[in-house]
Amino acid sequence: MSVDFLSMVKYSHLFVSGLLMTLKLTFLAVTIGVILGLIVALIKMSSIKPISFIGASYVEIIRGTPLLVQLLLIYNGLMQFGIDIPAFTAGVSALAINSAAYVAEIIRAGIQAVDPGQNEAARSLGMTHAMAMRYVIIPQAIKNILPALGNEFIVMLKESAIVSVIGFADLTRQADIIQSITYKYFEPYIIIAAIYFVMTFIFSRLLGIFERRLRAGDTR
């Protein structure tokens, strides 16, 4: 059977729709993942052992189990208890929960990389530990970890393809639909592979520019 990419033109609206849904899913999941990751990082760094154990357990369990299993537990597993979650919500939840475990470690490392003297100086000015973290430590840590968070977004962008297994109409799912209509496997999957590559290439370059500007700001 010959390769015919021109036959895919009539399905361009499906590729565009899938692309938009993929971006929406990824942006939302990473945003929630960063917020949740910050909370988990602070819990893990708590001086109270039972609380820090909860944070550490979360990170280890999520990082130690496949994202696909987590997705299926949320989408299919909860149905057993009468909880029917839409595919989009399940996809965002699974990706956010998974991303949070990795973001938590990024944030923890960023906070620990801040000079301890910063915290001591803040405390000497009468700030509580919470105030020092909020106004002094975390803002500096965020600046240091922004490139790593950008990489996390790129990783999530590619891993979001896994939500196609629960029927969510992302880019990969649209390629499945097209191949089921046309009985062509090569063309639609090559096209979405190219789209994923272009997206990750663009975001990687933008991230590189951002990192260089951050370094330039530090030197000034």
Tokens of 191: 């096209």
- How high is the mean pLDDT of the chain? 89
Spatial CA neighbour of 51 closest among 33, 35, 39: 39
| Number of residues that this document lists for the chain | 220
Cα gap 172→63, rounded to integer Å? 24
The answer to whether 156 and 33 are in contact (CB under 8 A) is yes
Cα gap 217→195, rounded to integer Å? 33
Tokens of 218: 């530090």
CATH of the domain at 22: 1.10.3720.10
Tokens of 41: 């990082």
Q: Could you report the per-residue pLDDT of 148-181, keeping only the tens digit for each?
A: 888 999 999 999 999 999 999 899 999 999 999 9
Cα gap 55→31, rounded to integer Å? 19
What is the value of pTM for the model shown?
Answer: 0.87
Q: Residue 14's CB: how many other CB atoms inside 10 A?
A: 19
Instruction: Please name the helix (run of DSSP H) or strand (run of DSSP E) that holds residue 68, with its range, or none.
Output: helix 67-75
Q: Could you report the per-residue pLDDT of 187-212, keeping only the tens digit for each?
A: 999 999 999 999 999 999 988 888 78
Cα gap 95→88, rounded to integer Å? 11
Q: Could you report the per-residue pLDDT of 94-119, keeping only the tens digit for each?
A: 999 999 999 999 998 888 888 777 77
Domain that residue 34 falls in: 5-219
Cα gap 80→218, rounded to integer Å? 53
The percent of residues in the chain predicted with pLDDT above 90, rounded, is 64
135 Rama sector, left if φ>0, alpha if ψ -120 to 50, beta otherwise: alpha
Number of domains in the chain: 1
